[in-house]
Every structure is written in structure tokens, then in C-alpha cells.
């Protein structure tokens, strides 16, 4: 995408009432106004589900279309990517969708205790370099952040094409006493998990076309450990 197009998207992003962009300085000074109050924004008490590193919001939008009795929030740092999800939500008049432009390291500033029911992590960067292990979104330091706002019985979903990230996440779950619910190293080779299979992102379809198995993990946090 060219610079001019990006600037146009950034400008249009400012017109969407379901996009929230707060710098760390703002969060530190005044806090996020909807923290613990997201039900006021959505106008209902439906469960709230996050997608982390949502990119263009394909999964967030897909979930919102399929499950109107749930609320969905996509989070990414790239404003130009979020523009696509915002446009799709506007086109489909989806009132159960919002987006936050921020770094995942700041995520606990946006949600109150027990406010989130589920988290989806879809095809994140596996951060293969040893020096970047702490950047993996299933690293224990991130799970500790999620525990601050995830319901006690809330669950986390991971979909990935990376064997490295799949194996690493299973090890994190085991070492920290989290509860493994489902682990499939080739999701589409088995029956079941229809909800997980229902939505396929651009990258997921790309990997499948190349014959790369999609891996899926569903787990619950041990709040004593996290």
C-alpha cells in the first residue's frame, strides 16, 4: 500500500465511532473511559470476545456476522489494516464490533476484571528468533495480562500454521498449570470443531492451499498461576 493511500485510511479512521486510539500518555494520565464499561458502548450485556493482532479484522468481522448475540473487539497496532475491518463493519451495519489501535503490551489498560469472555489469537507472528520469545502472544507474560480481564472460566483460542508456536504454546500451558481443552496439530484432517473451521482468514486459506496443516489450541488460564 502506498503512502498516500495509508494517509487516506488514517484520515478516514478518525470518522469511525467504533475505533479507539489512545496513546500510552493518555492512558497513563486519564485511563481508558470504557474500561469496565464496554456494555455501555455496545448497549447490551452480551459476552465480549477479543481478537488479538486482528490485522484487517477478517476473523473479528466473521465472528460478528455469525454470532450477533456476542460482542467483538479486534486489536492491532496497524491503523491502515484496521481500516478494512472498519469499512466491512460499516457496510454490514454490524453494531457488535469495535476496534482498538494499540500495542498488545498495553491491553490491560482497556478492560476491567472479568470483562472479557474469550480471546482469539489468529495466525500471529511466531517470533521464531530466540531473542524474541517474549514477543510471542502466548508467552506467560502476555497470559498474565490476559488474566487481569479474562473471566475465570474464559477461554483462549490459538490458530496457527506454525509448528514452533503450537509446540511452544503447549509447553507454556503445561509448565504454568493452565487447562488444555483441545489441541489439534491438523485441524482440518479431523471432524468436529465446526465453529473454529467456519471462518478462514486470507492467510489461513493461503496456507491450506499450500498443504500446510492448520493447528488449533483451546485452553483456559490457571488464574492462580497467571
Q: What are the residue numbers of the active site?
A: 125
Q: Which of 104, 133, 193, 122 is nearest to 160 (CA)?
A: 122
Own/partner long-range contacts of 130-137 (Cβ < 8 Å, ≥24 apart): 133/168, 136/165, 136/168, 137/52, 137/53, 137/104
Query: How many other C-beta atoms are found inside a 10 Å radius of the C-beta of residue 126?
Result: 20
Please tell me whether residue 148 adopts helix, strand or coil conformation: coil
Q: At what angle do helices 79-91 and 58-66 cross, to 10 degrees?
A: 20
- Say if residues 50 and 116 touch (Cβ distance below 8 Å): yes
Q: Which of 66, 68, 62, 75 is nearest to 46 (CA)?
A: 68
Q: Cell 496456507 maps to which residue?
A: 207
Q: Which of 219, 214, 125, 124 is nearest to 171 (CA)?
A: 219
Amino acid at each position: 500500500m502506498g503512502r498516500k493511500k495509508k494517509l487516506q485510511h488514517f484520515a478516514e479512521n478518525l470518522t469511525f465511532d467504533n475505533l479507539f486510539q489512545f496513546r500510552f500518555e493518555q492512558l497513563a494520565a486519564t485511563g481508558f473511559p470504557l474500561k469496565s464499561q464496554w456494555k455501555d458502548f455496545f448497549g447490551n450485556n452480551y459476552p465480549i470476545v477479543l481478537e488479538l493482532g486482528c490485522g484487517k479484522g477478517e476473523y473479528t468481522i466473521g465472528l460478528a456476522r455469525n454470532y450477533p448475540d456476542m460482542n467483538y473487539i479486534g486489536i492491532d497496532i496497524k491503523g491502515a489494516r484496521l481500516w478494512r475491518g472498519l469499512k466491512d463493519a460499516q457496510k454490514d451495519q454490524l453494531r457488535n464490533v469495535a476496534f482498538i489501535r494499540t500495542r498488545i503490551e498495553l491491553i490491560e489498560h482497556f478492560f476491567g476484571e472479568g470483562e472479557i469472555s474469550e480471546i482469539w489469537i489468529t495466525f500471529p507472528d511466531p517470533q521464531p528468533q530466540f531473542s524474541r520469545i517474549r514477543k510471542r502472544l502466548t508467552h506467560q507474560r502476555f497470559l498474565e495480562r490476559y488474566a487481569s480481564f479474562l473471566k475465570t472460566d474464559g477461554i483462549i483460542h490459538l490458530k496457527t500454521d506454525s509448528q514452533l508456536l503450537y509446540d511452544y504454546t503447549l509447553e507454556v500451558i503445561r509448565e504454568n498449570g493452565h487447562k488444555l481443552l483441545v489441541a489439534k496439530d491438523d485441524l482440518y484432517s479431523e471432524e468436529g470443531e465446526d465453529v473454529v473451521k467456519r471462518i478462514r482468514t486470507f492467510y489461513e486459506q493461503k496456507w491450506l492451499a499450500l498443504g500446510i496443516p492448520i493447528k488449533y489450541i483451546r485452553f483456559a488460564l490457571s488464574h492462580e498461576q497467571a
